[in-house]
A and B are shown apart, each in its own frame.
Chain A
Amino acid sequence: MEEDVKEVKKEKGWGSGILLGLLVGIVLFVLTYQLLLMAK
């Protein structure tokens, strides 16, 4: 039982990871977009 609880607890971190990831993804896209525009 204790191990099962541990497993569930270990899953925590997904939400904040995705949120931060989304932010990073958008910033990355904007950066590449700007770079492409500059390269034109």
Chain B
Amino acid sequence: MEKDFSRRSFVKGMAVGTLAGYFGAAGLSSTVFKSQLLPKEKVNLVDIGQIKGLKIKVISETSWYDNNVFLNDVKKAGGLLVNQYEIPWTREGVKAGYLGDNLGGFSTYIEAELMDGKVMKILLDSGWNPHWMDKRFKEEGIAEKLAKKEIDFQVISHEHIDHFFGIESTMRHYPDIPMYVPKGFYQDGFDLLKGKSFPKANVKNDHPHKGKVTVLDSKQVNVLYPGIALMTFDVPIILRVFGEQAFVFNVKDKGIVLVTGCCHQGIISYMEEVRKKIVGGEKIYAVQGGLHISPFEDWDPQYDDLIMAFNKYGVQKIGCNHCTGFITAEKMIKAGLPVVKGTARHMSKRDIYLGNGDELVIT
């Protein structure tokens, strides 16, 4: 028996067996037993606290009035990567525009009632065309609130034209308003805040900002007040913009309410981040603002997947508008998603979603 046994064969077999055993075990552990073997990911959930209720009023969601004119401006300037401060935007002769001006703007007014009863008044973004924004601020009583310094602070969601170039409309009433901007703001943006003009883009600010500007980064959830937080996302955005931030409110007995400007970070990524980082993030009650899906009313089949994915979050109110796109709203409604209807006033074209002057109240 001993003589039949080949030491060389045994060694060869052992070499093969060792390799097979090692890599086989590695394969099994990384697939079948992965969840049991890997250490749990350490995530420190942030408890942002709670608020009693929330009132969100759309001041303006109509950023421009004619998509073709807007796109033509961009195309003539060299495309979507051109610096927005260098593009001569069409300001007259547009039939669908406000007094012939193609520019409108985006701005939302928010009242958040803290648990102690204090109401925080917040202005999200400042629109684009100062004439249009002045009119809307006046109509909705924002101008008066700003002049009386009743608004606690302003948040700029991102540096884009339609959210930021109308900063003069805020500054003329309340130049020392505290401001929050996302990390990634370009020097041009800070210069515009301080009163610099950009004649090529036909943008100016004759009322320099004198208050405190806080730059928020994406490293942490930025809790501003109990129940009110901002999340910043490091996203590159067209027209040479970087970074966007959006609100996270936690309303007692309802759940998380997300309020966005344009949501260039992607609505699914935004909701996933909230789930991953915030206590109670698994229950997103409402989403409000631009969802950036089909801003130019085009449609890509991948957007269908996005709408299907939306379903799993169990959102009970979708107060979308602005860059969400009408096609998206139609598809969402068709998919059974609870899109809140608007009233199609103040130059908002359709009532399919929340328009200018419409309100979403969560209490």
CB atoms of B21 and A28 under 8 A apart: yes
Interface string of B139-159 (1 = CB under 8 A from A): 000000000000000000000
* Residue positions of B touching A, CB distance < 8 A: 3-26, 29, 37, 39
Q: Is the CB of B9 within 8 A of A10?
A: yes
Contact present for B9 and A18 (CB under 8 Å): no
**Chain B residues within 8 Å of A14, by CB:** 9-10, 12-13
B29: nearest chain-A partner, CB-CB: A33
Q: Compute how far the CA of A19 lies from the CA of B14 in the bound complex, rounded to whole angstroms.
A: 7
B265 CB to closest chain A CB (Å) equals: 30
Residues of B near A18 (CB, < 8 A) are 13-14, 16-17, 20
Q: List B contacts of A24 (CB < 8 A).
A: 14, 17-18, 21
Q: Across chains A and B, which 9 residue pairs bring their CB atoms closest together, nearest first?
A: A21-B17, A25-B21, A17-B13, A13-B10, A18-B17, A13-B9, A25-B22, A22-B21, A29-B25
CA of A18 to CA of B39, assembled, Å: 32
A20 CB–B CB distance under 8 Å: yes
A21 interface neighbour in B7, B21, B25, Cβ under 8 Å: B21
Residue of B nearest to A28 (CB): B22
Q: Which residues of chain B are near A10, meaning CB under 8 Å?
A: 4, 6, 8-9
Interface residues of A in 1-40 (CB under 8 A from B): 9-26, 28-30, 33, 37, 40
Given contacts A9-B4, A37-B39, contact A25 B13 (CB under 8 A): no
Whether the Cβ atoms of B25 and A25 lie closer than 8 Å is yes
| A19, B18: Cβ atoms closer than 8 Å | no
Identify the closest chain B residue to A21 (Cβ).
Answer: B17
* 9 CB-based A-B contacts, threshold 8 Å: A13-B7, A17-B9, A17-B17, A18-B20, A21-B15, A24-B21, A25-B19, A26-B21, A29-B29
Q: Besides the contacts A17-B14, A25-B22, what 6 more A-B pairs have beta carbons closer than 8 Å?
A: A12-B5, A17-B15, A18-B20, A21-B21, A25-B24, A29-B22
Contact status B13-A16, CB under 8 Å: yes
Complex: how many Å from CA A19 to CA B15? 10
**Residues on the A chain within 8 Å of B29, using CB:** 29, 33
What residue in chain A is nearest B26 (Cβ atoms)?
Answer: A29
Assess whether A30 is in contact with B25, with CB atoms less than 8 Å apart: yes
Chain A residues closer than 8 Å to B9, beta-carbon distance: 10-14, 17
Q: How far is the CB of A6 from chain B (nearest CB, A)?
A: 9
Shortest Cβ distance from A16 into chain B, in angstroms? Answer: 6
Contact A11 B22 (CB under 8 A): no
How far is B21's CA from A31's CA once the two chains are assembled, in angstroms? Answer: 13
Q: Which residues of chain A are within 8 angstroms of B13 by Cβ–Cβ distance?
A: 13-21
A13→B17 CA distance, assembly (Å): 12
* Interface-centre pick from A19, A23, A29, A30 (highest chain B CB count, 10 A): A29
Q: How far is the CB of B7 from chain A (nearest CB, A)?
A: 7
Q: Kindly state the separation between the CA atoms of A37 and B37 in the bound complex, as whole angstroms.
A: 10
- Inter-chain contact B22/A26, CB cutoff 8 Å: yes
B26–A21 contact, CB under 8 A? no
Evaluate contact between A17 and B10: CB separation under 8 angstroms. yes
Please state if B4 and A23 are interface contacts (CB–CB under 8 Å).
no
Q: Is the CB of A22 within 8 A of B6?
A: no
Find chain B residues with CB under 8 A from A16 CB.
Answer: 10, 13
- Provide the residues of chain B in CB contact with A21, threshold 8 Å: 13-21
Nearest Cβ in chain A — how far from B21, in angstroms? 2
Q: What's the least CB distance linking B298 to chain A, in Å?
A: 47
Docked CA distance A17–B9 (Å): 7
